[in-house]
């Protein structure tokens, strides 16, 4: 293990000599400093080994940087282990990652999503890892040249990480322990290793000074500077190696065990959803059978996912509760069983993200099992001054929804427990989320819901409001071409231009398609399930070979034509007619 971590190059000759003088090594390993005889024999056997063994660290700063990095790894590994035992959600690295997600500026977030898409969170973790390695390396070097500066750095990092952990939503007081014990463990290793490295350097210097002018071969016997230097070096590499390997095994192992033994999947599997007291009738012709067009219902595993959660929140239904608080005459608390015992009905609603670009895929349709929010709010009796409900997730995320949208008898804003016939998938908000037809997800569709605070827009801000998005955000009437696509040439001859259109809570009245510079021609639409769901549409087309432009626009049932002018996703959703360039061969 010692040898494995030594670099080739400058240290290689030292390593080679050590291989020959195995006995010296084993003496040192046993820690019996007084076996001068054995060491002497070995020393005599290979006369030149002294010079090798007493040579100081060639690149002490590199080793010091490695010391810092290994100490940081020990910090994180101890923290993960302690988190596994006492506070499942107390991982400091994940807490710091979540904290970063909350504080990074909007442009950085958009850059990450635009560049890395679904991998934006992995990108964040890798960046965080690089930052930790750099800070840790600097800490190691500082501890080497100017102790205890490195310890001060690790202590500051420890305090910051512990603060991030205990201030996460849902953290228990025990969540402080991983950070505290991690700091102590990492700090101890940093202290010990930096000391060893310094001792090695110092003793090797003394040994070299003593050796010059003395006899050519001095055995590195314990007690002599050379012997001390050899022991320092071995001790240094042994502790460094054990710490690095131990940290890797314990850290990665703890995290894996934490994930694998999280019983949340078992809890979800054990949920039996009640049969809905009413179901939605799917009309004849609701789904067109056209190749390349999105299915009417988006399967759960294909459903887009957007949230700020670095790891999917795990909610135990036996301890979960929903509170209705704030400006209400009757504050209420419901258990999961209370919700399941309500009059649950089926609703079909198309969900859309404000971040969906023109032609984008952050939209999906599902059948939800749930209960209208208005029925729950009615029990709590909201006060007349209230105009907003701040829904809160177990992870602290919040959304602001107009109270009027949640009390409207003609709008099915629901608390959902089921999605497409199963309990909500963990990523989609298990056990309970909100779904409000006609409002973008960020102002309505809170997943892992735990609180409904009746309040006012003047008094409370939701998560995205100070981050450049509107406090209120109805979904913009949109249409999308699914087939044919840019970059996917088609062959000349009869085909279909087809796609989706949505105007949740209003309904789609008309979809029109324009081919090249032709007239807008009405598309044939699928029979809408209801006004809250998207529709499929198509027009027949028989193109010639060459390039063709296709464009689509929709009109809603209130007579509004889709906005032609392009708008970016911030602050309240993209707009613009989608145009695609198609190659026909
Ligand atoms: N707890 C929580 N709920 C959340 C979010 C979030 O970040 N955290 N994001 C919202 C946004 S922006 C959207 S578009 C929808 C997406 O829901 P889905 O991931 O199930 O498709 O969830 C909403 N609910
Ligand atoms: Mo969203």
Ligand 1 atom closest to 464 (CA)? 12
Report d(CA 161, CA 74) in Å as an integer. 14
Residues composing the chain = 585
What pLDDT score does 227 carry? 82
Ligand nearest to the CA of 398: 1
The C-alpha R_g of the chain, in whole angstroms, comes to 33
Condensed to tens digits (0 to 9), the pLDDT of residues 392-438 reads 999 999 999 999 999 999 999 999 999 999 999 999 999 999 999 99
CA of 384 to the centre of ligand 2 (A): 29
Ligand 1 atom with the shortest distance to the CA of 303: 21
Model confidence pLDDT, tens digit, residues 554-563:
999 999 999 9
* 495-502 and 478-483 beta bridge pairing: antiparallel
For the segment 113-124, the average pLDDT, to the nearest whole number, is: 78
Residue with the bigger pLDDT between 293 and 90: it is 293
Q: Is the CB of 446 under 6 A from ligand 1?
A: yes
pLDDT of residue 20: 32
Segment 372-393 shows an average pLDDT of 98
Task: Kindly provide the residue ranges of all beta strands, DSSP E only, lying in 31-107, ordered along the sequence.
Answer: none
Average pLDDT of 157-183? 91
Residue nearest to atom 15 of ligand 1 (CA): 441
1 DSSP assignment: -
Q: Which of 445, 468, 574 to mutate to test the pocket of ligand 1 (most atoms within 8 A of CB)?
A: 445
Cβ(397) to ligand 1 under 6 A? yes
Q: What percent of the chain has pLDDT over 70?
A: 88
Q: How far is CA 231 from CA 15, 50, 221, 480, in A?
A: 14, 12, 10, 71
Residue of 422, 447, 449 best suited for mutating to test ligand 1, as the one with most atoms within 8 Å of CB: 447
φ, ψ dihedrals at 79, nearest 5°: -60, -45
Q: Does 448 contact ligand 1 (Cβ within 6 A)?
A: yes
pTM (2 d.p.): 0.76
The full set of domains in the chain, from first to last, is 60-210+219-261 (no CATH), 300-467 (3.90.420.10), 478-584 (2.60.40.650)
Q: What is the mean pLDDT of the chain?
A: 87
């Amino acid at each position: 293990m010692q040898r494995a971590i030594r670099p080739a190059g400058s240290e290689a000759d030292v390593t080679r000599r050590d291989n020959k003088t195995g006995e010296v090594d084993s003496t040192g390993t046993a820690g019996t400093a007084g076996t001068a005889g054995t060491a002497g024999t070995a020393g005599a056997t290979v006369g030149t080994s002294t010079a090798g063994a007493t040579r100081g660290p060639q690149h002490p700063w590199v080793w010091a940087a490695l010391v810092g990095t290994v100490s940081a790894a020990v910090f994180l590994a101890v923290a993960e282990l302690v988190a596994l035992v006492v506070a499942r959600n107390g991982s400091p690295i994940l807490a710091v990652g979540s904290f970063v997600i909350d504080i990074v500026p909007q442009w950085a977030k958009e850059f990450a999503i635009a560049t890395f898409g679904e991998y934006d969170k992995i990108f964040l973790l890798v960046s965080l890892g690089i930052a930790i390695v750099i800070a840790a390396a600097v800490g190691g070097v500082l501890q080497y040249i100017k102790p205890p500066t490195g310890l001060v750095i690790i202590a500051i990092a420890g305090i910051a990480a512990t603060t991030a952990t205990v201030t996460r939503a849902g953290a228990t007081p025990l969540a402080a322990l991983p950070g505290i014990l991690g700091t102590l463990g990492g700090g101890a290793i940093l202290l010990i290793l930096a000391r060893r490295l310094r001792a090695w350097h110092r003793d090797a210097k003394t040994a070299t000074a003593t050796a010059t002018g003395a006899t050519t071969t001095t055995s590195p016997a314990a007690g002599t500077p050379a012997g001390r230097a050899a022991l320092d070096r071995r001790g240094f590499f042994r502790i460094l190696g054990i710490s690095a390997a131990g940290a890797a095994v314990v850290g990665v192992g703890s995290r894996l065990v934490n994930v694998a033994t999280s019983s949340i999947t078992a809890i979800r599997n054990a949920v039996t959803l009640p049969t809905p007291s009413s179901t939605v009738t799917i009309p004849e012709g609701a789904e067109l059978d056209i190749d390349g067009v999105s299915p009417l219902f988006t399967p759960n595993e294909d459903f887009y996912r957007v949230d700020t959660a670095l790891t999917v929140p795990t909610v135990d239904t036996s301890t979960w509760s929903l509170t209705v608080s704030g400006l209400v005459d009757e504050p209420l608390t419901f258990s999961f069983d209370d919700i399941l015992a309500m009059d649950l009905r089926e609703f079909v609603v198309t969900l859309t993200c404000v971040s969906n670009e023109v032609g984008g895929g952050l939209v999906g349709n599902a059948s939800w099992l749930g209960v209208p929010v208005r029925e729950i709010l009615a029990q709590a009796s909201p006060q007349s001054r209230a105009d907003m409900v701040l829904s809160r997730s177990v992870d602290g995320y919040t959304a602001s929804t107009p109270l009027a949208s949640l009390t409207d008898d003609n709008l099915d804003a629901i608390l959902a427990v089921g999605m497409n016939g199963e309990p909500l998938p963990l990523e989609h908000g298990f056990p309970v989320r909100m779904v409000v037809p006609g409002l973008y997800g960020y102002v309505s569709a809170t997943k892992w819901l735990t609180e409904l605070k009746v309040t006012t827009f003047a008094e409370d801000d939701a998560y995205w409001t100070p981050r450049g998005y509107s406090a209120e955000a109805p979904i913009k009437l949109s249409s999308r071409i699914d087939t044919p696509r840019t970059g996917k040439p088609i062959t000349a001859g009869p085909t279909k231009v087809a796609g989706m259109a949505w105007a949740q809570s209003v309904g789609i009245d008309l979809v029109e398609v324009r081919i090249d510079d032709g007239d807008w021609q009405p598309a044939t639409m699928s029979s809408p399930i209801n006004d809250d769901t998207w529709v499929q549409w198509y027009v027949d087309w028989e193109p010639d070979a060459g390039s063709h432009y296709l464009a689509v626009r929709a009109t809603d049932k209130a007579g509004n034509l889709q906005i032609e002018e392009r708008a970016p996703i911030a602050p309240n959703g993209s707009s613009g007619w989608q145009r695609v360039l198609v190659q026909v061969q």
